[in-house]
Amino acid sequence: MTERKKELLVLGSLLGLLIAFYAPILFTAKVIRAPDIINEFYWGVVDIYNGGLVKALSIDFSKAGWDIYTNSGSTAEGGGASQQFLLHLKLLFALVPPPMSVSWCIVLHLFFGASGLYAYCRLIGISRPAAFLGALIFAIAPENASLINAGHVMKIATISYAPWAFYFFEKGFRTRRVFFFLFTGFTLAFQFFNTHWQIAYYTCLGVAVYALIRILGQLRRKEETPAAMGKLLGLNLLTLIFFLTTVSIALLPLANWSKDTNRGAQSGANAGKGGLDREEAMSWSLPPEEVAAFVIPGFFGLSRQEGGENPTNIRSYYWGRMNFTQTVSYMGVLPWLLLPLPLLFRRDRFTWITLFAVAGGIVFSMGQYTPVYNFLFDHFPGINRFRVPKMMLFATVMGLGVLAARGIDCLRDEELRRTPAFRRYLTGICTLPLSLLMLLAVELFGKAHWLSLFQDILSQPTRFEQGSYLITQRWDNLVLETGIAAGFALACVAVLAALHKRLIPVKVVLLALLVLFIADTARVDSKFMFTIKVPEHVRATRTPVIEYLSTMPKEYRVLPLDGSDPMQFVSNKVPVVFTSNAVQQRRWQEFLDAFALNSGMSDIINLRFLVHDPAKYLAEKGSLGERFVPVYQSPDGRQMVLENRSVLPKAWMVPSVVVVSNTTQLLGMMQSPMFDPRRLALVESPPPVQLPSPGEASPIPVSAVQMMKYEGDRIRVRASNASPALLVLGEKYYRGWKATDNGNSLAIVPVNHVLRGVYLQPGNHDVSFSFDPWPYKVGKYLTFTSFAILLCFLGREWRRSAQEAAATE
């Protein structure tokens, strides 16, 4: 059997094992009970499946995209267009019926990432059996696998590219061939295309640190000539440049988009430098005491109790210091027991690099509790744009997988097992099960004392759990988890001791350790693979209220006030005013914070309909006044539709403006009942044309403006005015929009803080608005150029491989 066939056999065995391991979520008609899946991801998959294969594989890069349905108009400036490159996902979702396809997507990505770690292990000289364990650690370690419970499908997909980036990068260092450095950049770009930008950013940091350590190591050992080192540095720079050009179709639009968001440079957060404020950015830092959960997975409970159905095999839910968590930081006890072996017997560059990944990932994950993260937050670009420092633990899992694999190779070395150092190693690791057993004894015999001492901590309520019963529940779970952890640690140490005493062969020992690791992680992972029946109330359901609203022109918007999911309206092509999003355009967020329903603010954003609960409407009828009147009630009497009789059309003209440069003052004026958006508009700079003062101006009839075309990124209106006026659109002001009047360019100005407008001279006008941001256009062509370059090198590499194969025959 050839070496390649052996490698494929190992990877096939790994895939088969993962399919068996994750069978509870793979072979079922149920859906994973995770809010992000049930509320968001699953319904997108359903749309792809229902749309058919042809539609799923269709590609269109011609437009940056402006969505008229969500959040009163929204865009990522084309930053999401890169998802069209993920044809393998669309193929899976089009061919495999949901919800099964969601689970297969997760497991196949875990296999993909595990294959990458296997390839990396083999590249640095690790044996197949050892590399198999390293790959398995990546795929089933609860720190990664428990992301299933959180519904972070695209986070898992993004993480799965990280091992391959390091594989190709190391391959480049070894061969000095341009192709592998280019492919590293390409892999990082594709990782970015999977949309979890925080993981992609952290991977890029990891690759940069990897390069720095590798280069400094070679400089210290003086292994290279100055010319060779110059070439190596150039190849590393090439990786960076090629990554930036390949990812440009997503990165340039998103970088431009982020500038004016509530996390952007102008947001005012983080001492005026942009990004999140310190408290929010430090959310979900791993508290130092929770490092104990690396050995005792349920030390602080497991997962988070959700509203509705919950798994029955979780005795106590998370009660630690983080806001909440849907995951667990456990990685199995065996990898930690194997970790000292390469530190004792394989002290080379790869041991130190992966040890840095393990330790660095942990320190970084602690976030606010360490000076390291605080320093990076203050001084390193990009760190303050993200929260949840704990996400960096995926680097720890990868490093631990490599070190554990090297530890297995140490166990397979008979000469090494005869050394005094190995005996000291066995003595040292015995301290883990002994310490756990001592802790268990302390917990059992000092229960009354510890419950009294930690009563306040153990009794802390959560969103779904309150009551004195929590004290005993949490303590009993802690004791049980300590006992189970001690049992697994003791079993692993016993197997290793048996190997040392030559009581069982090496192959049996390796198999026993593998079984123990699978049993250990399976016990924990099973608590994060909870499935439920597909909810009957699906997002795309056309309720009577939605049927009624669907007949209305798309120029008008809806605001649900009865607790309805706004995205249910969006999926049925009903435009809504607001959809929840942690990142909003700064102007829009300020408008929302000041929004007053009974003011002209609702009129200018084309808010025509409210969806209300009839009983609540009766209670609030007085505050709503005569502006909103009932026009429809659902047959079951649970929902009613109110119409705003003073709503403005999509486009109108005002004869006068008032210049207000202070945002707070401007928003305050808009909140006033005296503000009449038909008579005047609030602008931020003097108009280029002479307009009458507000007291002298007469309203311009709405019939003076006709809407000719209203699409996502194309709007066309005809207007006729006898005197200079400001044409206002009930659409967000946003960079990237361009306007022309009879073919002549017009300047778009912000109006009423969030809207866009153009000044018109007297006459007849044919005004067109088009969304065509330059970052998307430039990024698109840079990406396509990079693809073409890579294809050329791929062809060259294929010819080279063919020639080498022919020469060996």
Beta bridge partners of 611: 560, 641
CA–CA separation, 295 vs 139, rounded Å?
18
Report the length, in residues, of the chain: 809
Beta bridge partners of 763: 721
CA–CA separation, 477 vs 527, rounded Å?
14
DSSP 497: H
CA–CA separation, 637 vs 545, rounded Å?
11
Average pLDDT over residues 552-572: 91
CA–CA separation, 659 vs 595, rounded Å?
20
Which element (helix H / strand E) includes 87? helix 87-95
For the chain, what are the domain ranges?
17-58+71-76+87-532, 544-644, 651-772
Q: Are 407 and 338 in contact (CB under 8 A)?
A: yes
pLDDT at 538: 53
pLDDT at 43 over 90: no
Contact partners, residue 322, CB within 8 Å, separation at least 6: 283, 284, 285, 286, 287, 290, 390
pLDDT at 809 over 80: no
Alpha carbon distances (Å) from 315 to 298, 462, 470, 472, 750: 9, 15, 11, 11, 55
pLDDT at 169 over 90: yes
pLDDT at 463: 84
pLDDT interval class at 580 (50, 70, 90)? confident
Q: List strands edge to edge, sheet with 680-683.
A: 651-654, 725-732, 755-760, 749-751, 680-683, 656-659
pLDDT at 265 over 70: no
- The per-residue pLDDT for range 57-106, each reduced to its tens digit, is 999 998 899 999 999 999 999 999 999 999 999 999 999 999 999 999 99
Token readout for 539 is: 């997002």
pLDDT at 369: 95
Q: What is the CA radius of gyration of the chain?
A: 30
Measured in whole angstroms, how far is the alpha carbon of residue 707 from the centre of its chain?
Answer: 38
Measured in whole angstroms, how far is the alpha carbon of residue 591 from the centre of its chain?
Answer: 26
Average pLDDT over residues 782-807: 87
Top pLDDT among 163 and 227 is at: 163
CA–CA separation, 337 vs 492, rounded Å?
8
Strand, coil or helix: 728: strand
pLDDT at 440: 95
What is the residue-averaged pLDDT of the chain?
92
pLDDT at 263: 66
- The per-residue pLDDT for range 501-549, each reduced to its tens digit, is 888 899 999 999 999 999 999 999 999 999 999 876 555 578 899 999 9
CA–CA separation, 203 vs 762, rounded Å?
57
Lowest mean pLDDT among 594-603, 627-636, 690-699: 690-699
CA–CA separation, 298 vs 480, rounded Å?
9
Query: Of 624, 621, 749, whose CA–CA distance to 681 is shortest?
Result: 749
pLDDT interval class at 155 (50, 70, 90)? very high
Our CA angle for 79, 737, 195, nearest 5°, is 10
Top pLDDT among 262 and 266 is at: 262
Q: Are 54 and 560 in contact (CB under 8 A)?
A: no
CA–CA separation, 157 vs 162, rounded Å?
10
Average pLDDT over residues 268-273: 59
**Beta strands at 737-741 and 640-644: parallel, antiparallel or unpaired:** unpaired
Q: Are 402 and 354 in contact (CB under 8 A)?
A: yes
What is the maximum span of the chain, computed from C-alpha positions, in angstroms? 102
pLDDT at 582 over 70: yes
pTM, full prediction: 0.91
CA–CA separation, 296 vs 336, rounded Å?
12
Share of the chain above pLDDT 70, in %: 97
DSSP 66: -
pLDDT at 624: 79
Tell me which amino acid residue 21 is. Answer: F
Average pLDDT over residues 721-727: 93
pLDDT interval class at 479 (50, 70, 90)? very high
